[in-house]
Amino acid sequence: MHVQIMQLHGGRVQMKVYLDNGASTMADKRAVKAMLPCFTKIYGNPSSLHTFGADARKAVDSSREVIAKKINADINEIIFTSGGTESDNTAIIGAAKANNDKGDHIITTKIEHKAVLNAFKYLEKKGFKTTYLNVDKEGLIDLDELKKAIIDKTILVSVMHANNEIGTIQNIRGIGKICREKNVILHTDTVQSFTKVPINVKDDFIDLASFSSHKIHGPKGVGALFIRSGVKIKPLLHGGGHEFNLRAGTENVPGIVGFAKAAELCNSEANEKMKKLRDYMIEKIKKIPNAKINGSLEKRLVNNINVSFKGIEGEAILTLLNEAGVAVSTGSACHSKNLQPSHVLKSIKTPDNYIQGSIRITVSRFTTKKEADYAVKNLKIIVKKLTEMSPLG
């Protein structure tokens, strides 16, 4: 009941339902509790040699161990950052610059998060050559296309593990195998998949992987980067020798501790729960007239639903849902800052009129069936209202 503020509204019960967990999540109270001593008790600088410093160092290092264990990495292969964006930038720009002697060609996909795409755009300006891989209707890259795209000059491949808009999960092991055989560094953005899809950096042949805390019920402004031992990267920040000389700046001890605690609290039971709820909602939403589920039904994040309604517009849906207390997001052009429809939905060849009417619903382990029912019930009413208003309906 954490997000249900019940109030009587014109005789109707109004709920507050948060279904935008792909954007950010509520911090787990246990993660917050774990952080608190780091403000008032364990407040030393982890680099200091006294006991206060040592206590903070211990807190950081045991958190590092938690994250490393989750992905079968070694402890010294994890550095903490300010989040997914910094991890993506450090991995991509850092690896490209550090390995420029071997080549200047880098590969990614058309459906990456802006944190990756804009790092690539930056490197293009610096003279790097880029290739953007296509995806199929479900959002999956073609491994043969990847193989063909890798040339002598290729030094880095960056493919997101799971997509933030449509939830499509790539065959990361297959991708890793190809990259390792061709001796190319593989970076993967696992911001959305971490704790929801198993990641084993050794078995999956991953060289670099980005993580973010606030997508897994941890605090905002903290994340991690896995750097396989032996993989060269140039740091973005210059300063003291923190984080193995790869990320200068006094560690965000409370954030790091909260992140590790949040990661510990994620488990397969919670994933099963989300998956059940997701499928329950998809079944109901599919029955709404003019609805079409975007992306893959099998290779999909346990918490993601992306649906389009033909002939109506996403911002209007989002706004009316918000009036009913339900929070979602949309890929509609009219709602974006640059009036461009979602590049992900475009890449999976969703027709423009369907992209316009797309919304993303992302549940969490705290989402209840009652909340799901309330959201779907309102969605149904809203789609009907907007369809009646539409000249295309």
Partner 1 sequence: MDEYSKKVMALFKNPKNMGEVKNADGAGEAGNPVCGDVMRITIKVKDGRLADIKFKTMGCVAAIASSSMITELAKGKTIQEAMDITNMDVAKELGGLPNIKMHCSKLAADALRLAINDYQKRKKR
- Tell me if residue 180 falls in helix, strand or coil: helix
To Zn ion, the closest distance from the beta carbon of 318 in angstroms equals 13
Maximum separation of any 2 CA atoms in the chain, in Å: 71
Give burial (CB, 10 Å; 0-12/13-18/19+) of 180.
middle
Q: Which amino acid is at 8?
A: L
**C-alpha dist (Å) from residue 248 to 53, 63, 239:** 17, 18, 5
Which residues have a Cβ under 8 Å from the Cβ of 41 and sit 6 or more positions away? Answer: none
**252 binds ligand PLP, rule: CB under 6 A:** no
Residue 53 interacting entry, from partner 1, ligand PLP, Zn ion, none, C-beta within 5 to 8 Å by type: none
To Zn ion, the closest distance from the beta carbon of 108 in angstroms equals 31
Quote the tokens at residue 297: 């039904």
> Which residues ranging from 302 to 321 are in contact with ligand PLP (CB under 6 A)?
none
Token look-up 């329950």 returns 280
| Strand residue runs (E) in the chain | 7-9, 12-14, 17-18, 78-81, 105-109, 129-133, 154-158, 185-189, 208-212, 223-227, 291-293, 304-309, 326-327, 329-330, 358-362
> Is the CB of 181 or the CB of 352 nearer to partner 1?
352
Residue 84 interacting entry, from partner 1, Zn ion, ligand PLP, none, C-beta within 5 to 8 Å by type: ligand PLP
Quote the tokens at residue 275: 């998956």
Query: Which one of the listed residues 38, 179, 266, 334 is annotated catalytic?
Result: 334
The interface region with partner 1, picked from 13-21, 244-252, 269-277, 334-342 by CB under 8 A, is 334-342
Residue 319 interacting entry, from ligand PLP, Zn ion, partner 1, none, C-beta within 5 to 8 Å by type: partner 1
**139 binds ligand PLP, rule: CB under 6 A:** no
> Is the CB of 200 or the CB of 390 nearer to partner 1?
390
Is 334 assigned a catalytic role?
Answer: yes
**389 binds Zn ion, rule: CB under 5 A:** no
Angle at 183 between CA 226 and CA 176, to 5 degrees: 55
Which residues have a Cβ under 8 Å from the Cβ of 194 and sit 6 or more positions away? Answer: 70, 71, 211, 212, 215, 216, 263
> Is the CB of 29 or the CB of 377 nearer to partner 1?
377
> Is the CB of 151 or the CB of 389 nearer to partner 1?
389
φ/ψ (deg, to 5) at 334: -65, -20
**356 binds partner 1, rule: CB under 8 A:** yes
Which residues have a Cβ under 8 Å from the Cβ of 388 and sit 6 or more positions away? Answer: none
**334 binds Zn ion, rule: CB under 5 A:** yes
Pick the binder of ligand PLP from 44, 84, 235, 357 (CB under 6 A).
Answer: 84
Ranked by CB distance to ligand PLP, the top (closest) residue is 84
Interface with partner 1: number of residues (CB under 8 A): 28
- Tell me if residue 342 falls in helix, strand or coil: coil
**288 binds partner 1, rule: CB under 8 A:** no
Residue 323 interacting entry, from partner 1, ligand PLP, Zn ion, none, C-beta within 5 to 8 Å by type: partner 1
Quote the tokens at residue 71: 């992905």
Residue 352 interacting entry, from Zn ion, partner 1, ligand PLP, none, C-beta within 5 to 8 Å by type: partner 1
**383 binds partner 1, rule: CB under 8 A:** no
φ/ψ (deg, to 5) at 249: 125, 135
Pick the binder of ligand PLP from 14, 131, 154, 192 (CB under 6 A).
Answer: 192
The interface region with ligand PLP, picked from 189-197, 269-277, 281-289, 345-353 by CB under 6 A, is 189-197
Active site (catalytic) residues: 334
Contact residues for Zn ion, defined by CB under 5 A: 334
Contact residues for partner 1, defined by CB under 8 A: 311-313, 315-316, 318-320, 322-323, 332-335, 337, 339, 341, 352-353, 355-356, 386, 388-393
